[in-house]
Amino acid sequence: MTTHTILVTGGSGFVGSHVILQLLAAGHNVRTTVRNLAREPQVRATLEKAGADTSRLSFFAADLEKDDGWAEAVAGCDYVQHVASPFPQSQPEDEQELIRPAVDGTLRVLRAAHAAGVKRAVVTSSFAAIGYGHGNRSGDYSEADWTDVNGPAVQPYMKSKTLAERAAWDFVAAGGKGLELAVVNPVGIFGPALNDDLSTSIWLVKSMIEGKMPGLPDLWFGVVDVRDVASLQIEAMTHADASGERFLAVAGPAMSIPQMADVLRANLGAAGARITRRRIPSWLVRIMAIFNPMAREAAPRLGIQSNASNAKARKLLGWQPRSNEEAILASAKSLIELGLVQNQ
């Protein structure tokens, strides 16, 4: 196997950490960016606890909203995995708080990669750049679809991911000659947490197990395991046919929150005893949306089952993801093993 030098942006995050774990396990030299190098010991400790040999891992300070540090971080790299992007648990009042770092940060990374002679960059986008702004449309989505940022109920995060991915493709088409680009578009990312810095999807599982979700709304999500997102990112980095392509990362058909609760309750034994069976009627969520910001975000998506296809990644790259159930249970079991579930 050829050893490469690879920059992973956002190495302290959920996806970034798993990408680093798999790259190190494959024998590569890995660099990662953090906004403050004071985080290096914590990130190393997390990766080492997960079984990584971090002797081939180095850290660089770089911020998506600043030019400093990016040229140094990418110098001498063969590939770049641009994973970093803000993902809040609640939407900001000013959408530019998300859009600006997502778009400008992506362009900063790509400009630095292009100037350094990097062969290919893989950008972590999202289903948020594919399946929104189409009204009350349930149905199937593929890589040919794009979110309409001017469509109904498109929130700032969806805009940020769509505009950032558009900017990436435009950069390579217009001025990034010599830099190849591939994009991975995950749905809701579950799988094993590595520490207490939890993603939004894992918080959902944690809330259910702890009995802090009083009822289960009729909301549907695509599901994918973070380990499979990482493997797809790496396959898209080196596979000859991946350049110029985007790939949906999804395990199977969308699942509703009640279905997720059923999976957890059926498989966790006593640890799942506090998961509610109560359904929240959609009409009640819509009333709650008048005064509750979280309900207001959820209301436009009630009952909408958007299925994403993984056919392209399977056929072109031979990608074989874990099932929805495996991904969700891996989230729960990791929370329990890490002692992050209260009152167990």
What residues are labeled active site? 161
Query: How far is Cα 259 from Cα 169, in angstroms, rounded to an integer?
Result: 36
* DSSP symbols for 243-303: TT-EEEE--SS-EEHHHHHHHHHHHSGGGGTT---PBPPHHHHHHHTTT-HHHHHHGGGTT
H helices present in the chain, as ranges: 14-25, 40-49, 70-74, 96-115, 156-174, 200-209, 226-238, 257-267, 282-288, 293-298, 311-317, 324-337
Phi, psi of 122 (to 5 degrees): -110, 120
- Enter the tokens of residue 160: 């940020």
φ/ψ of residue 81, rounded to 5 = -110, 105
Type of residue at 107: L
Q: If DSSP codes are grouped into helix, strand and coil, which group holds residue 54? A: helix
Q: Are strands 180-186 and 246-249 parallel, antiparallel or unpaired?
A: parallel
User: Rg for the chain (alpha carbons), in Å?
Assistant: 20
Handedness of CA 46, 321, 9, 23 (dihedral sign): positive
Look up residue 134 and give its two tokens. Answer: 């189409």
Helix boundaries (H) for 37-117: 40-49, 70-74, 96-115
Can you tell me the distance from the alpha carbon of 330 to that of 314, in angstroms, rounded to the nearest whole number?
22
Q: In the structure encoding, which two tokens stand for residue 253, read together? A: 């058909």
